[in-house]
Structure 1
Amino acid sequence: MKINTPNQLTILRVALIPLLVFTLAYKNFTMDLISVAVFSIAAITDYYDGYLARKYNLVTDFGKIMDPVADKLLVAAALICLVERGDLAAYAVILILAREFAVTALRAVASSHGYVMPADNFGKWKTGLQITAIIMLILSWKIWFLDIYAIGLLILWISIIISLYSGWRYFADYWSYRKQQGMGEFS
């Protein structure tokens, strides 16, 4: 079985997660730089797998399912490691992961009713902000008057607000769809 390039990039993203977890376990300057490099490479594959799949008409069922799963695994792994290191409060990660599980479940339910819920721009902003925040939280440098960690934390909280709003929009959209279809209450 031949695996196309976008799917190879998705698989690479998942394969890099154990290396990221390993490097994040050691909180020192060198390992933090390696962690940022690994995380950045994995995050870049997210952009390119989608770009290549759309540009060259290489969209597959595997990619439709695994791409968002790979994204969530990457972000979750990094955030959980940051909690373990003492760099992030667990409640922030719980808010992010709860939204991800809820929206993923909702999309599965919607799909079972024939309704496809595409990603919206808020979700894309959320992902970009989370990636930026994670990199800054890993580095946690202080450069002159700039506290990179504090800026990263602020960006993460902005991403949480956008994430929760985006999640609410998904539920409102699906509720509206159900009403239009005469489906009534959730079942």
Structure 2
Amino acid sequence: MNLANKITLARIFLVPVVMLFLLVRFNMGYVQVGSVTLTVSEIIATFIFILAAVTDGLDGYLARKNKMVTTLGKFLDPLADKLLITAALISLVEMQRLEAWIAIVIISREFAITGLRMIAVAEGVVIAASPLGKLKTITQIVAIVALMLNNVPFSSIAFPFSEIVTWLAVIVTVISGLDYFYKNRKIVSMTHLQ
């Protein structure tokens, strides 16, 4: 197993760690930032999430740079991304920082695009990540971090950053999903005819 795949696996193993620190009430203390109180475990979870999100770009870069792109890596990388985002969204719903319908919209889009990619592979077509898809990932990560930190540091100036970036993530997620289906409509219509 090459280095890129090991980094991807590490990201998968970080998923339950993020959930553990977000959802289990450890008695590690609190940090008061203006009117918002964060637990130390929430801050740790946020840093671990950011670390895991950064490894997404790192493993792909290393695989391409060192010509280490493998079938296992092509399978594990999107799986790790979806697990990380899905686990964080579900945790935020449990923490009552995110409405369930928003998590459902984002997760549904991920399932739909995964299904489309599976159909494409069966037809011998590879669907590459689009610029909109990459923007979707960035907006989701920023929104999740803002929600994990309960809008800190923007809460001190009463600026609803986490709310704005969450709406942006939802909009970009939906648009990028529609874009994938529109650009690959021939694949969908081919399977419909069979």
Fold agreement, TM-score > 0.5? yes
The unaligned stretches of length 5 or more in structure 1 are none
Deviation sequence 1:45-71 (CA, Å, 0-9, x none): 101000000111010001101100100
2: distance between equivalents of 1:144 and 1:175?
Answer: 47
2:169 aligned with 1:159: yes
Determine which of 22, 25, 30 is the counterpart of 2:23. 25
User: What corresponds to 2:192 in structure 1?
Assistant: 185
2: distance between equivalents of 1:186 and 1:130?
Answer: 35
1: distance between equivalents of 2:139 and 2:64?
Answer: 23
Task: State, as a whole percentage, how many aligned pairs show the same letter.
Answer: 39
2:10 aligned with 1:12: yes
Determine which of 65, 72, 77 is the counterpart of 2:82. 72
TM (norm. structure 2) is 0.87
2:160 aligned with 1:145: no
Determine which of 56, 61, 75 is the counterpart of 2:71. 61
The unaligned stretches of length 5 or more in structure 2 are 26-37
- Which stretch of structure 1 is more off in the superposition, 22-31 or 110-119? 22-31
Q: How many residues align?
A: 180
Determine which of 91, 94, 98 is the counterpart of 2:101. 91
Question: How many Å apart are 1:29 and its aligned residue?
Answer: 2.4
2:118 aligned with 1:108: yes
Superposition RMSD on alpha carbons, in Å? 1.7
Question: How many Å apart are 1:144 and its aligned residue?
Answer: 3.0
* Higher RCO structure, 1 or 2 (CA under 8 Å, sep 6+): 2
Asked if structure 1 preserves the Cα contact closer than 8 Å seen for 2:53 and 2:141, the reply is yes
- Which stretch of structure 1 is more off in the superposition, 135-144 or 60-69? 135-144
AA of the residue aligned to 1:185: H
AA of the residue aligned to 2:5: N
3-state SS of paired residue (2:184): helix
